[in-house]
Structure 1
């Protein structure tokens, strides 16, 4: 267990308790955000030259899982916000200094989806748009978001050119009424609004260079961590936190079933059918965890040895990651259906784990269609094109 994992485990009871309040507030409590900040989890993938830990991605994933098992929303914010320092390592050193210069614990929100348009101007771009699903945004001082480059009339260029851009908190508004949802409520994944903000060129990065691995090389980042494939590192925090949620649901279920007696008077411990279902669900969740971590370790070893992680390997890795998420949530459904009516009570954590698991599965990174298509086509000797290469 790493140092960050050990530090966060000390707060497990407090994080669980604050999860109830975060669900009501529809954002992390200030106390939960401070615990994450103090533990160093958001600095795990941050470069050492800016106060980061440069941890192995496996350690990052295991930490996100552990936090997700305590509280889904807290784990989710850890996993998503925790990836952004990895990419900031590729930005112009001036941008890195602006974000981390005074405080290496400065957080950045997202999303990467190019929901806004950046119009070129002298020295940079003028950005406008509205972005949804900015997890943890109330506790972030900067945002790293996707933008499509446009012409002078604000129309997106074709073929599209996508940038990842950095904005300080003063350059965007948070729509506080935009997040009222059924699951992952405590993530506070609200909408961001930008109205004609100037983005200097040094705060922009060509998204294509991040995806294909050119960006770290141009930034002079030779460490294995920063040459790790984007298509593995970006989904990692998200899916790891989701698997952690499934593990939390299983632990909650086991705790509730130990002394439970059914309406027929049978102890759960004596019901072979329920025991089988619990065992099967536990095995599926464990398999999801193992699959994610095996991919991370294998990709790390390839990258560390100077070998390229091929498109086929990346596609299969994404298939493994996506399938792991679906497998874990299906397992949660199996145990929730056997938890009895008491699990429906809003005062129990079981219902929140169940809601959070389904909300997490709806993230775009867990949509299996094109990923399964691309991995199969590649293994058959084909060459996926267009959208079928996205996020691989």
Structure 2
């Protein structure tokens, strides 16, 4: 039993509620236990819900006994557990236990009509389906657009206040119930834990309650360890991530100018991306991700770029880096994913640092550039070499020097600053061979069955830049169309730029360039295995076609932007106009190594001709 008492005022200014009916009801449970309850209903409850209060045992005497407050249980309705005996939760056994405990001492069971932690029965069953795909009970709610826990206990406090139960002994493992009652003016004389009703079916559910919301639950070792086991499959059918990304676009556009001035993403943007689940797209379900595929990931980056290219770039890389961390051995995954959150990590390989073997690990030194996402990351993945072999070191960002070096003409909002270390110790388990991590047989592939975890690392590394270029071009053509159709007054005559044959021709050319970019984009994605399926490795010819289509898509995207800006007049070059930012952003995107056009043309030509690639990095 917890014996911590909360000192609170006896009145929290709650709206008054009155007893509507009181009726005696005999109770009988499937195991034969029976009790008698005075069931009360109320007028004036704040949420208008049909909540019940069951007064049990010597409840009247408990109200009069100043030294022993009534025992109270706030029990949220659970049809599946309370009525049908579902073992996916512990609600049914808790209800049965609470009635007997309260009847023996005197007090109240408040049966609150807050199914599924307040999201409703249908949504709870939808959340069960997501839990079958690997999400925990809280992330399933978030994935459906709900809060982790939407319950409010104002009505419960009103009912207790009406009966004069302003100080209670609370039968609960949930700290939020105690905290809310205290804030509502109900004193907690003692918090009494319920029993632990653990089964194979609810062990993950109980572990999530303990780990995510601090429930006081003592579970066995099997439930203490966060499982890293294959999930049942991707949740692609349940999560429309491109639609979620599209919902963020208006806000991203409104903040784009400020993002550029800030030279990193605003915290409000990062929070929105977190809440939308963008960083979870690629991480396996068993570590809190959604386990989705390359096509969904690429489309989300493309959609985000319609709002802000810097946001698309940063979010795309942070999601990608979580996928990279899931390829590491179990010890690293337990460390970085252990709190139930998908970690944010920067990754950089230019230039490669140096590693020196020391006792228990490595000493690394280097100055790394272009660390995209570092302004929001807890970890950094750094390329180092030892005796000519390339390794990757995983280092807390707090252990590195962060250098303010990102002063560029485009993608300014990415904050892709530099990192530096001088003889920094990194333990053995956080250094791995790059060739192993980047291969289909990476250590994470032995832990997870998500198809994408078996894909070569290069599959995703080449997608962000062309996706962001295409989304930016789509936004630019949209802006141009709006500009052409706006009526303007000139010498008292209303005109539109769209009525000019030259403007019509330019818009047609820009639209054609954009259509070409979209066609090449779809051709590139069609080369990859279908979403949620593990296909064979791409042949050299397929890989050449994949890279060539991405590069041609990006080149056509840049051409569409050039045509748009060229027909938008001098006002498009004001720093407040989004077109000038799009033009600068797409210029930087096409200078990224994955879109280095001369190299892509040369190597793609070799691959298509069956000559083999002349560089391993292609």
Alignment of 1:209-220 (within 5 A): 209-215=436-442, 219-220=446-447
Aligned counterpart for 2:481 among listed residues 254, 268, 278? 254
* Unmatched runs of 5 consecutive residues or more in structure 2: 1-236
Scaled by the length of structure 2, the TM-score of the pair is 0.58
* Unmatched runs of 5 consecutive residues or more in structure 1: 150-156
Partner of 1:335: 564
Q: Which one scores higher on RCO, CA 8 angstroms, separation ≥ 6?
A: 1
The structure in which a higher percent of residues are helix is 1
Measure the CA separation in 2 of the matches of 1:180 and 1:38. 29
Deviations 1:134-187 (A, max 9, x none): 1221111111121122xxxxxxx3xx31112211122212112x1111111111
Summarize the Cα distance change of 1:287–1:305 in structure 2 as closer, same or farther, 3 Å threshold. Answer: same
Structure 1 residue 167 corresponds to structure 2 residue 404: no
Equivalent residues of 2:406, 2:415 under 8 A apart: yes
Alignment of 1:224-239 (within 5 A): 224-239=451-466
The DSSP-based 3-state class of the residue aligned with 1:113 is: strand
Structure 1 residue 62 corresponds to structure 2 residue 290: no
Structure 1 residue 19 corresponds to structure 2 residue 256: yes
Alignment of 1:195-210 (within 5 A): 195-210=422-437
Deviations 1:58-77 (A, max 9, x none): 11111111111111111111
Aligned counterpart for 1:139 among listed residues 356, 373, 376? 376
Scaled by the length of structure 1, the TM-score of the pair is 0.89
Measure the CA separation in 1 of the matches of 2:535 and 2:242. 29
Structure 1 residue 361 corresponds to structure 2 residue 598: no
Measure the CA separation in 2 of the matches of 1:76 and 1:165. 23
Deviations 1:256-303 (A, max 9, x none): 221266999973222223222222222322332342333223321499
Measure the CA separation in 1 of the matches of 2:503 and 2:459. 36
Structure 1 residue 383 corresponds to structure 2 residue 590: no
Equivalent residues of 1:64, 1:79 under 8 A apart: yes
Measure the CA separation in 1 of the matches of 2:613 and 2:248. 46
Equivalent residues of 1:25, 1:186 under 8 A apart: yes
Q: How large is the RMSD of aligned CA atoms in angstroms?
A: 2.4
Equivalent residues of 1:114, 1:148 under 8 A apart: no
Partner of 1:276: 505
Could you tell me how far 1:309 is from its partner in structure 2?
1.2
Summarize the Cα distance change of 1:242–1:262 in structure 2 as closer, same or farther, 3 Å threshold. Answer: farther
Partner of 1:317: 546
Aligned counterpart for 2:332 among listed residues 95, 101, 111? 95
Partner of 2:470: 243
**Structure with bigger gyration radius:** 2
> Which region of structure 1 is more displaced relative to structure 2, 295-304 or 117-126?
295-304
Deviations 1:287-331 (A, max 9, x none): 323423332233214993642311221122112112211221122
Aligned counterpart for 1:44 among listed residues 275, 281, 287? 281
Could you tell me how far 1:25 is from its partner in structure 2?
1.0
Partner of 2:242: 5
The structure in which a higher percent of residues are strand is 2
